[in-house]
Amino acid sequence: MGGVVSARAVRRVIAGCVAALAVWPLLHAVLAARLGFDPWELFGFAMYALPAGRVQVRVDRVFEGRPVLVGLSGESRTRVAEYKRWRQALGPRLSPDGLEALAKDVLVLEPEMDEIEIRVLSWRLDRDSAMLVVDEESRRYGRSRH
Amino acid sequence: MAQAADVASGGRAEDMGRSDAAGWLLARPGPVPDSKIAFVSARRLLLLAVCSEAWFATQVGAYQALGQTHLAVCFTLTACLAAGWLSWQGTRAAVGLALAVALVDGALAFPSNANHQILMWLGLVFVAVADEGRSGDREAAVQGLRWLVVLAFFWAGVQKVIYGYYLGGEFLAFRVSFDPDFASIFRVLLPDSEATRLLSMAPGPGAGPYRADAPLFVLASNLTWIAEIVIALCLLHSKTRRFAVVAGIAFVMLIELGAKEVFFGVLMINLFLLCWSGRAMSRLLPVTVAVYGWLVLAAAGVLPRWGAS
């Protein structure tokens, strides 16, 4: 294998990787701001540059028009945890897993629920005020839609 | 004919090809007089790092979910470590296989990856493409690894400036409020009233302000990113390189007291030593082996646990 890759090619591969890493973190910062993913992810060396993003996902059964906290099955909890993992890391725009898909899966796994409400709470530390801020997204999904 | 010239020249320092951009870049940050020992030590470190982390990750949720696949990764990386430890005909193939397996494992665990994994993966690329028998290749790989340290530290510092949470001490105040390891280190820089206020804050909507009216605390916060950038830049110059290596290692050890990112810490300390000399890194290798071994056994519950990955 020694003679297969020329010395020049070796230098170019290594230098190319170094050059890519030299510019990626700046591009990472721009993309994180535009696309909303957690800057701790995707190898931008922004871990510990800001508080890590935190997402909470809550699935309630809608009973007589009001959300009621009920225990989900193990499979549903696993599904919700998977959604949360992607959402927390990549944000709502890049995450391959959307709320509709989550709702559809939960309704399949929880046949006794006709309607559910999914609340996604995204925690962040506002830099200017240094206060903890929560952005909330809440949607209801009914079995009739699916 | 060009290939024969490459082989014949053995990739001597003067054949680093300063005439092209790649050669110019890889002539820095400094000379590599002991390229053989540096290259072999780096290869061993990287194989050890990916293998140890894979075993440690068997206790991490995202990797546990991969089940038998990740276990197969662990055994394969262990075989690659054994095959790649010594220099023989199959070493390069072992490194290449370790790289491929590590990348697949990382892709399967995505997005639950650690930032420092990119340093390990790139390091394995450098060691895999380089021909150990050519001094030019060895030097290029070692220089590439040195650049990883420079860039990691530089960008870590710049990112702190970009996001701005260190300029007023907000990030550290936030961490002090809920992380006992951070609190134990930075509390001494806070007046009692501020420390009490931060530590008593329960996280919830509207909690805050996570900011401390303490000049020393804010100074320490800003010294963090300043140190990272200065250390990175000092690695590039021969007159300041030794200072940068010592300061960098001390800085990493201080980070470990709070963040406890031990795999990152061990990797960075070794790469800093590589910026000094391959011999220095080689001398630390037994300690590195011991630390990685302890981390793996701690994850398995055999030894007491100290830090995370």
Q: State how far residue B21 is from chain A, nearest Cα, in angstroms.
A: 8
Q: How far apart are CA B104 and CA B213, in angstroms?
A: 47
Strands lying side by side in the sheet with A132-142: A66-68, A54-63, A115-125, A132-142
Closest in B3, B118, B158 to A43, CB measured: B118
Mean pLDDT, rounded, for A72-99: 91
CA angle A41, B153, A22 (to 5 degrees): 75
Closest in A5, A15, A85 to B21, CB measured: A15
Report pLDDT for B307.
55
Q: How far apart are CA B51 and CA B79, in angstroms?
A: 9
Closest in B6, B152, B205 to A45, CB measured: B152
Residue B203 near chain A (CB below 8 Å)? yes
Q: What is the pTM of this model?
A: 0.90
Q: State how far residue B272 is from chain A, nearest Cα, in angstroms.
A: 17
Report pLDDT for B19.
60
Residues of A in contact with B308 (CB under 8 A): none
Closest in A14, A26, A123 to B144, CB measured: A14
Angle between helices A74-94 and A99-109 (to 10 degrees): 170
Mean pLDDT, rounded, for B78-99: 95
Residue B250 near chain A (CB below 8 Å)? no
Residues 78-117 of B with CB under 8 A from A: 92-93, 111-113, 115, 117
pLDDT digits (tens, 9 = 90+) for B257-301: 888 888 999 999 999 999 999 999 999 999 999 999 999 998 888
Q: Has residue A142 got a pLDDT over 80?
A: yes
Report pLDDT for A143.
85
Report pLDDT for B29.
83
Q: State how far residue A104 is from chain B, nearest Cα, in angstroms.
A: 22
Mean pLDDT, rounded, for A39-51: 95
Q: Has residue A57 got a pLDDT over 60?
A: yes
Q: State how far residue B151 is from chain A, nearest Cα, in angstroms.
A: 6
Residues of A in contact with B17 (CB under 8 A): 7-8, 11
Closest in A18, A26, A49 to B25, CB measured: A18
Nearest CA in chain A to B10: A7
How many CB atoms are located within 10 Å of the residue B132 CB?
Answer: 19
Residue B128 near residue B99, CB atoms below 8 Å: yes
Residues 282-301 of B with CB under 8 A from A: none
The mean pLDDT value of chain A amounts to 91
Q: Which of B255, B280, B261, B262 is nearest to B270 (CA)?
A: B280
Residues of B in contact with A49 (CB under 8 A): 156, 159-160, 162-163, 165-166, 171
DSSP secondary structure, A89-123, as one string: HHHHHH-S--HHHHHHHHHHH-TT-SEEEEEEEEE
Residue A68 near chain B (CB below 8 Å)? no
State percent of chain A over pLDDT 90: 84
State percent of chain B over pLDDT 90: 72
| Both tokens assigned to A79 | 């599904």
Closest in B141, B164, B203 to A132, CB measured: B203
Q: Lowest mean pLDDT of A16-20, B6-10, B273-277, name the range.
A: B6-10
- Return the residue in A34, A40, A45 with the most chain B beta carbons within 10 A, the one to mutate for interface testing: A45
pLDDT digits (tens, 9 = 90+) for B145-199: 999 999 999 999 999 999 999 999 999 999 999 898 889 889 899 999 999 999 9
Interface confidence: ipTM more than 0.95? no
Q: B17–A8: do the CB atoms touch at under 8 Å? A: yes
Residue A27 near chain B (CB below 8 Å)? no
CA angle B40, B51, B155 (to 5 degrees): 75
Q: B137–A85: do the CB atoms touch at under 8 Å? A: no
* Alpha-carbon separation of residue B208 from A38, A96, B212 (angstroms): 21, 33, 10
The number of C-beta contacts closer than 8 angstroms across A and B is 180
